[in-house]
Structure 1
């Protein structure tokens, strides 16, 4: 299973279209908010059979998308959120606490425009994967390269993540 994870495209869709063309066929595309009106078009850019999961970002003013989602990806329970309600601009600690309290295996967020990947280990608790694919339109990390993540489930159902840059 191959999942493309993106965020913060802000209606500058050329890079998103390029990444979809490079990575398809896809089983799922996850957009973590701030599509700014492109959410109605993205489904037409992916291959047939690709599930599209999208959530509301802080700049999606006129969108009817959900604020967050609880989805299953293989055997993993994933929280999809833009992150601004969890104050991710100052760190992922609040999001981690919430994800652990609600029993998630993965917490995915956007908003900061900076890629992030961590396997958070806590004694006596299961590991929590926390990730942010960065932004395809307005990257803010050193080097300012547009970024996205691929999640692939191997034949055993184990998730592997790669951060990619344009």
Structure 2
């Protein structure tokens, strides 16, 4: 199983469209907020490359007129993942509140956006990840980033941070 994880595209969708074409086919897309009205277009692009593609999107702090959910819990293979944008968990100053929330929900993975900086870490037994931003990256070098998650035949998750 192959999962494309993105965040903070802020309606500047050219890089996202390129990444979708470059990484296709994949089984699931997770967008961790701040699509800013591009939700239907993004879902259509994913389903063009795979009609059965699962699409999960959540609300970001700039998704003012969206009806997306603020948070989600989803299953990915044998894992339970907690998805949020992160701004309600103060991720700009640390991951402690996010990790505690994921643990309270019984999740093994906590995914967030908001900081525009890629992150892949293990905290208190929880995999914490942020794909960064494809539109407005803020990490050193400021390269647009996204993440791929792959579940192997044994059910183990593997993650890669990728850059344009």
Query: TM-score, with normalisation over the residues of structure 1?
Result: 0.95
The separation in 2 between residues aligned to 1:43 and 1:114, in whole angstroms, is: 24
Q: How does 1:101-140 map onto structure 2 within 5 Å?
A: 101-120=104-123, 122=124, 127-140=125-138
Match of 2:97 in 1: 94
Worse-superposed segment, 37-46 or 76-85:
37-46
Q: CA deviation at 1:18?
A: 0.3
Per-residue CA shift, 1:76-119, capped at 9, x if unaligned? 00000000000101111110111112211000000000001112
The separation in 2 between residues aligned to 1:14 and 1:102, in whole angstroms, is: 35
Which runs of at least 4 in structure 1 moved beyond 3 Å after TM superposition? none
Match of 1:17 in 2: 17
Q: Which structure 1 segments of 5+ residues have no match?
A: none
Other structure's SS at 1:11 match: coil
Query: TM-score, with normalisation over the residues of structure 2?
Result: 0.97
The separation in 1 between residues aligned to 2:127 and 2:94, in whole angstroms, is: 15
Match of 2:63 in 1: 60
The separation in 1 between residues aligned to 2:159 and 2:129, in whole angstroms, is: 9
Q: CA deviation at 1:71?
A: 0.3
The separation in 2 between residues aligned to 1:18 and 1:35, in whole angstroms, is: 16
Q: CA deviation at 1:147?
A: 0.2
Q: Which structure 2 segments of 5+ residues have no match?
A: none
Instruction: State whether structure 2 residue 161 is matched by structure 1 residue 158.
Output: no
Instruction: State whether structure 2 residue 150 is matched by structure 1 residue 148.
Output: no
Q: CA deviation at 1:62?
A: 0.3
